[in-house]
Amino acid sequence: MRQPQSTNSSVSNLNAIRPPTQVVYDPDFAEPPGLNYTLRTRIKSITIFWTLCALDTIAMPIALYFGLWYGTGLSHNAVFSISTGALGTVSIVEYFLRFHRLWKVDSNCRVIGAQRFYLDWFQWTLSFAWIAVMIELIVGTVPHEPPIRLLAMPAASMIYAFGAELLLMDILRLRGVPAFVRISSLPRGSPFRPGIYNIVEDVVAVDGGGGTEFRQRLNLRYKASHLFRQMLHRLTLFWAFGCLGSATLTTILVFTLQKDVAYVVGWTVPFLWAGIWAWITTLWVQRSLKDEYEKWPDERRKWKHDV
Protein backbone atom coordinates (compact mmCIF):
# COMPACT_ATOMS: atom_id res chain seq x y z
CA MET A 1 0.00 0.00 0.00
CA ARG A 2 1.29 3.46 -0.88
CA GLN A 3 2.28 5.52 2.13
CA PRO A 4 0.67 8.98 2.68
CA GLN A 5 2.65 11.79 1.12
CA SER A 6 2.22 14.23 4.00
CA THR A 7 2.91 13.40 7.65
CA ASN A 8 3.22 15.35 10.84
CA SER A 9 6.87 16.34 11.45
CA SER A 10 6.83 15.33 15.11
CA VAL A 11 5.53 11.87 14.20
CA SER A 12 8.26 11.56 11.57
CA ASN A 13 10.94 12.48 14.09
CA LEU A 14 9.57 9.95 16.58
CA ASN A 15 9.57 7.23 13.92
CA ALA A 16 13.18 8.07 13.05
CA ILE A 17 14.18 7.40 16.64
CA ARG A 18 11.95 4.38 17.34
CA PRO A 19 11.15 2.98 13.91
CA PRO A 20 8.98 -0.06 13.18
CA THR A 21 10.76 -3.35 12.63
CA GLN A 22 9.21 -3.87 9.22
CA VAL A 23 9.20 -1.29 6.44
CA VAL A 24 6.37 -1.56 3.92
CA TYR A 25 7.45 -1.07 0.33
CA ASP A 26 5.48 0.36 -2.56
CA PRO A 27 5.33 -1.58 -5.86
CA ASP A 28 4.58 1.65 -7.72
CA PHE A 29 7.90 3.39 -7.13
CA ALA A 30 8.76 5.34 -10.27
CA GLU A 31 12.48 5.00 -9.44
CA PRO A 32 14.60 3.08 -6.92
CA PRO A 33 13.69 4.07 -3.35
CA GLY A 34 16.09 6.83 -2.37
CA LEU A 35 18.74 6.40 0.31
CA ASN A 36 18.78 10.16 1.02
CA TYR A 37 22.50 10.05 1.66
CA THR A 38 25.58 11.35 -0.13
CA LEU A 39 29.31 11.40 0.57
CA ARG A 40 29.81 14.64 -1.33
CA THR A 41 28.89 16.81 1.65
CA ARG A 42 31.10 14.77 3.98
CA ILE A 43 34.36 14.63 2.01
CA LYS A 44 36.18 17.02 4.36
CA SER A 45 35.31 15.13 7.56
CA ILE A 46 36.06 11.77 5.91
CA THR A 47 39.46 13.03 4.73
CA ILE A 48 40.36 14.37 8.18
CA PHE A 49 39.30 11.17 9.94
CA TRP A 50 41.18 8.78 7.64
CA THR A 51 44.27 11.01 7.64
CA LEU A 52 44.34 10.83 11.43
CA CYS A 53 43.79 7.06 11.29
CA ALA A 54 46.66 6.67 8.84
CA LEU A 55 48.99 8.68 11.07
CA ASP A 56 47.81 6.74 14.12
CA THR A 57 47.95 3.19 12.74
CA ILE A 58 50.65 3.39 10.06
CA ALA A 59 53.06 6.25 10.70
CA MET A 60 53.12 6.06 14.50
CA PRO A 61 54.02 2.37 15.01
CA ILE A 62 56.68 2.52 12.30
CA ALA A 63 58.16 5.81 13.56
CA LEU A 64 58.21 4.62 17.17
CA TYR A 65 59.79 1.31 16.18
CA PHE A 66 62.70 2.79 14.24
CA GLY A 67 63.09 5.84 16.48
CA LEU A 68 63.15 3.94 19.77
CA TRP A 69 64.87 0.78 18.51
CA TYR A 70 67.78 2.49 16.80
CA GLY A 71 67.76 5.92 18.42
CA THR A 72 67.64 5.09 22.13
CA GLY A 73 69.16 2.69 24.61
CA LEU A 74 65.80 1.30 25.70
CA SER A 75 65.35 -2.44 25.95
CA HIS A 76 63.59 -4.05 23.03
CA ASN A 77 60.72 -4.99 25.33
CA ALA A 78 60.33 -1.34 26.40
CA VAL A 79 60.35 -0.19 22.77
CA PHE A 80 57.34 -2.32 21.90
CA SER A 81 55.58 -1.64 25.19
CA ILE A 82 55.66 2.08 24.36
CA SER A 83 54.65 1.67 20.71
CA THR A 84 51.84 -0.74 21.62
CA GLY A 85 50.51 1.61 24.30
CA ALA A 86 50.37 4.50 21.83
CA LEU A 87 48.71 2.51 19.05
CA GLY A 88 45.16 3.10 17.87
CA THR A 89 44.26 6.23 19.83
CA VAL A 90 42.01 7.65 17.09
CA SER A 91 40.31 4.30 16.48
CA ILE A 92 39.70 3.74 20.19
CA VAL A 93 38.23 7.24 20.62
CA GLU A 94 35.94 6.62 17.64
CA TYR A 95 34.94 3.25 19.14
CA PHE A 96 33.69 4.91 22.33
CA LEU A 97 32.00 7.72 20.38
CA ARG A 98 30.11 5.04 18.42
CA PHE A 99 29.13 3.38 21.67
CA HIS A 100 27.80 6.66 23.06
CA ARG A 101 25.77 7.45 19.92
CA LEU A 102 24.08 4.05 20.09
CA TRP A 103 23.68 3.84 23.87
CA LYS A 104 22.26 7.27 24.71
CA VAL A 105 18.53 7.35 25.46
CA ASP A 106 17.64 9.71 22.60
CA SER A 107 19.82 7.93 20.02
CA ASN A 108 18.73 8.67 16.45
CA CYS A 109 20.89 5.96 14.87
CA ARG A 110 19.73 2.90 16.78
CA VAL A 111 19.10 -0.44 15.09
CA ILE A 112 15.54 -0.98 13.82
CA GLY A 113 13.47 -2.87 16.39
CA ALA A 114 16.33 -3.57 18.82
CA GLN A 115 16.76 -2.67 22.46
CA ARG A 116 19.24 -0.06 23.56
CA PHE A 117 21.75 -2.57 24.95
CA TYR A 118 22.09 -4.36 21.60
CA LEU A 119 24.16 -1.51 20.08
CA ASP A 120 24.75 -2.81 16.52
CA TRP A 121 26.49 -5.69 14.78
CA PHE A 122 29.50 -3.63 13.72
CA GLN A 123 30.11 -2.46 17.29
CA TRP A 124 30.26 -6.06 18.52
CA THR A 125 32.51 -7.06 15.61
CA LEU A 126 34.87 -4.19 16.43
CA SER A 127 34.86 -5.20 20.10
CA PHE A 128 35.96 -8.77 19.42
CA ALA A 129 38.46 -7.62 16.78
CA TRP A 130 40.09 -5.15 19.17
CA ILE A 131 40.24 -7.76 21.94
CA ALA A 132 41.98 -10.19 19.57
CA VAL A 133 44.46 -7.53 18.44
CA MET A 134 45.22 -6.48 22.02
CA ILE A 135 45.86 -10.11 23.01
CA GLU A 136 48.20 -10.47 20.04
CA LEU A 137 50.11 -7.31 20.99
CA ILE A 138 50.29 -8.16 24.70
CA VAL A 139 51.58 -11.68 23.99
CA GLY A 140 54.15 -10.16 21.65
CA THR A 141 55.47 -7.69 24.22
CA VAL A 142 55.82 -10.14 27.14
CA PRO A 143 59.12 -11.82 26.08
CA HIS A 144 62.40 -10.04 26.83
CA GLU A 145 63.11 -10.18 23.08
CA PRO A 146 59.72 -9.45 21.43
CA PRO A 147 58.88 -11.44 18.29
CA ILE A 148 58.91 -8.60 15.77
CA ARG A 149 57.15 -10.59 13.07
CA LEU A 150 54.21 -11.37 15.36
CA LEU A 151 53.98 -7.68 16.30
CA ALA A 152 53.74 -6.82 12.60
CA MET A 153 50.60 -8.97 12.18
CA PRO A 154 47.69 -7.13 13.94
CA ALA A 155 46.41 -5.36 10.80
CA ALA A 156 46.58 -8.58 8.77
CA SER A 157 44.85 -10.50 11.58
CA MET A 158 42.00 -8.01 11.61
CA ILE A 159 41.36 -8.24 7.87
CA TYR A 160 41.60 -12.05 8.07
CA ALA A 161 38.70 -11.90 10.54
CA PHE A 162 36.61 -9.47 8.48
CA GLY A 163 37.20 -11.44 5.28
CA ALA A 164 36.20 -14.71 6.92
CA GLU A 165 33.05 -13.12 8.38
CA LEU A 166 31.97 -11.65 5.03
CA LEU A 167 32.53 -14.94 3.21
CA LEU A 168 30.79 -17.03 5.87
CA MET A 169 27.71 -14.78 5.90
CA ASP A 170 27.38 -14.95 2.13
CA ILE A 171 27.73 -18.74 2.14
CA LEU A 172 25.00 -18.99 4.78
CA ARG A 173 22.82 -16.63 2.75
CA LEU A 174 23.21 -18.70 -0.42
CA ARG A 175 22.40 -21.89 1.52
CA GLY A 176 19.22 -20.34 2.91
CA VAL A 177 20.31 -20.63 6.55
CA PRO A 178 18.33 -18.29 8.84
CA ALA A 179 20.26 -15.88 11.06
CA PHE A 180 20.84 -17.50 14.46
CA VAL A 181 21.31 -14.10 16.15
CA ARG A 182 20.14 -10.57 15.42
CA ILE A 183 22.37 -8.90 12.81
CA SER A 184 21.76 -5.18 13.26
CA SER A 185 18.26 -4.49 11.89
CA LEU A 186 17.67 -8.12 10.84
CA PRO A 187 15.94 -10.04 13.65
CA ARG A 188 17.01 -13.54 14.60
CA GLY A 189 15.55 -16.09 12.16
CA SER A 190 15.58 -13.69 9.19
CA PRO A 191 17.29 -14.74 5.95
CA PHE A 192 20.93 -13.67 5.83
CA ARG A 193 21.82 -10.72 3.63
CA PRO A 194 25.18 -10.15 1.91
CA GLY A 195 27.87 -9.61 4.53
CA ILE A 196 28.63 -6.10 3.28
CA TYR A 197 25.00 -5.06 3.95
CA ASN A 198 25.25 -4.77 7.73
CA ILE A 199 28.62 -2.99 7.49
CA VAL A 200 27.13 -0.37 5.17
CA GLU A 201 24.04 -0.07 7.37
CA ASP A 202 25.93 0.37 10.63
CA VAL A 203 28.82 2.52 9.45
CA VAL A 204 26.67 4.96 7.49
CA ALA A 205 23.93 5.12 10.15
CA VAL A 206 26.27 5.72 13.10
CA ASP A 207 29.64 6.99 11.86
CA GLY A 208 28.37 8.66 8.70
CA GLY A 209 25.42 10.46 10.32
CA GLY A 210 22.72 8.72 8.27
CA GLY A 211 20.81 7.73 11.39
CA THR A 212 18.01 5.22 11.77
CA GLU A 213 16.39 6.77 8.71
CA PHE A 214 19.23 5.37 6.60
CA ARG A 215 18.71 1.91 8.10
CA GLN A 216 15.06 2.07 7.02
CA ARG A 217 15.85 3.38 3.56
CA LEU A 218 18.58 0.80 2.98
CA ASN A 219 16.20 -1.99 3.96
CA LEU A 220 13.59 -0.59 1.59
CA ARG A 221 16.05 -0.31 -1.28
CA TYR A 222 17.35 -3.83 -0.68
CA LYS A 223 13.88 -5.36 -0.76
CA ALA A 224 12.80 -3.33 -3.78
CA SER A 225 15.75 -3.73 -6.13
CA HIS A 226 17.20 -6.95 -7.51
CA LEU A 227 20.10 -5.00 -9.03
CA PHE A 228 20.92 -3.43 -5.67
CA ARG A 229 20.95 -6.85 -4.00
CA GLN A 230 23.16 -8.19 -6.78
CA MET A 231 25.61 -5.32 -6.34
CA LEU A 232 25.90 -5.95 -2.59
CA HIS A 233 26.48 -9.66 -3.16
CA ARG A 234 29.30 -8.96 -5.60
CA LEU A 235 30.82 -6.33 -3.32
CA THR A 236 30.73 -8.83 -0.46
CA LEU A 237 32.76 -11.34 -2.46
CA PHE A 238 35.07 -8.58 -3.71
CA TRP A 239 35.90 -7.51 -0.15
CA ALA A 240 35.91 -11.02 1.33
CA PHE A 241 38.43 -12.42 -1.13
CA GLY A 242 40.32 -9.13 -1.09
CA CYS A 243 40.66 -9.27 2.70
CA LEU A 244 41.79 -12.88 2.69
CA GLY A 245 44.16 -12.36 -0.23
CA SER A 246 45.73 -9.22 1.23
CA ALA A 247 46.10 -10.81 4.67
CA THR A 248 47.68 -13.94 3.17
CA LEU A 249 50.15 -11.91 1.11
CA THR A 250 51.03 -9.78 4.13
CA THR A 251 51.60 -12.89 6.26
CA ILE A 252 53.91 -14.44 3.67
CA LEU A 253 55.94 -11.24 3.38
CA VAL A 254 56.13 -10.67 7.13
CA PHE A 255 57.53 -14.15 7.77
CA THR A 256 59.98 -14.19 4.87
CA LEU A 257 61.46 -10.69 4.63
CA GLN A 258 64.18 -9.16 6.79
CA LYS A 259 62.65 -8.14 10.16
CA ASP A 260 62.76 -4.35 9.67
CA VAL A 261 61.22 -4.60 6.23
CA ALA A 262 58.69 -7.14 7.53
CA TYR A 263 57.55 -4.73 10.26
CA VAL A 264 56.99 -1.94 7.74
CA VAL A 265 55.15 -4.31 5.38
CA GLY A 266 52.90 -5.58 8.17
CA TRP A 267 51.75 -2.07 9.06
CA THR A 268 51.43 -0.67 5.54
CA VAL A 269 50.31 -3.31 3.03
CA PRO A 270 46.84 -3.97 4.59
CA PHE A 271 46.05 -0.25 4.70
CA LEU A 272 47.34 0.42 1.18
CA TRP A 273 45.22 -2.49 -0.04
CA ALA A 274 42.15 -1.15 1.81
CA GLY A 275 42.61 2.28 0.22
CA ILE A 276 42.79 0.78 -3.28
CA TRP A 277 39.75 -1.44 -2.63
CA ALA A 278 37.78 1.53 -1.27
CA TRP A 279 38.60 3.59 -4.37
CA ILE A 280 37.55 0.74 -6.70
CA THR A 281 34.39 0.24 -4.64
CA THR A 282 33.45 3.91 -4.94
CA LEU A 283 33.72 3.79 -8.74
CA TRP A 284 31.92 0.45 -8.85
CA VAL A 285 29.00 1.65 -6.72
CA GLN A 286 28.62 4.86 -8.73
CA ARG A 287 28.46 2.91 -11.98
CA SER A 288 26.12 0.26 -10.53
CA LEU A 289 23.68 2.81 -9.13
CA LYS A 290 23.59 4.62 -12.46
CA ASP A 291 22.92 1.31 -14.20
CA GLU A 292 20.21 0.51 -11.66
CA TYR A 293 18.36 3.75 -12.41
CA GLU A 294 18.58 3.15 -16.16
CA LYS A 295 17.19 -0.38 -15.86
CA TRP A 296 14.60 0.44 -13.21
CA PRO A 297 11.54 0.52 -15.53
CA ASP A 298 12.15 -3.12 -16.48
CA GLU A 299 12.87 -4.08 -12.88
CA ARG A 300 9.71 -2.31 -11.76
CA ARG A 301 7.58 -4.28 -14.21
CA LYS A 302 9.08 -7.58 -13.01
CA TRP A 303 8.59 -6.56 -9.39
CA LYS A 304 4.95 -5.59 -9.84
CA HIS A 305 4.33 -8.89 -11.62
CA ASP A 306 5.91 -10.85 -8.73
CA VAL A 307 4.01 -8.85 -6.11
Q: Quick: pLDDT tens for 93-125.
A: 989 999 999 999 999 999 998 888 899 999 999
Arithmetic mean of pLDDT, 187-207: 94
Better-predicted residue by pLDDT, 193 or 9: 193
Q: Quick: pLDDT tens for 52-64.
A: 888 888 888 899 8
**Mean pLDDT, the chain, integer:** 87
**What are the residue ranges of helices labelled H in the chain?**
9-17, 43-54, 60-71, 76-86, 89-103, 121-141, 148-151, 154-174, 195-202, 211-224, 226-254, 259-306
* Domain boundaries along the sequence of the chain: 115-306
- What pTM does this model have? 0.85
Backbone angles phi, psi at 91, to 5 degrees: -65, -40
Q: Quick: pLDDT tens for 230-240.
A: 999 999 999 99
Task: Please give the DSSP secondary-structure letter assigned to residue 42.
Answer: G
Answer for the pair 144, 77: CB distance below 8 angstroms, yes or no: yes
Place 18 in a pLDDT band, splitting at 50, 70 and 90. Answer: very low
Residue 193 predicted with pLDDT over 80:
yes
**CA–CA distances in Å: residue 291 to residues 200, 248, 271, 284, 297:** 20, 34, 30, 11, 11
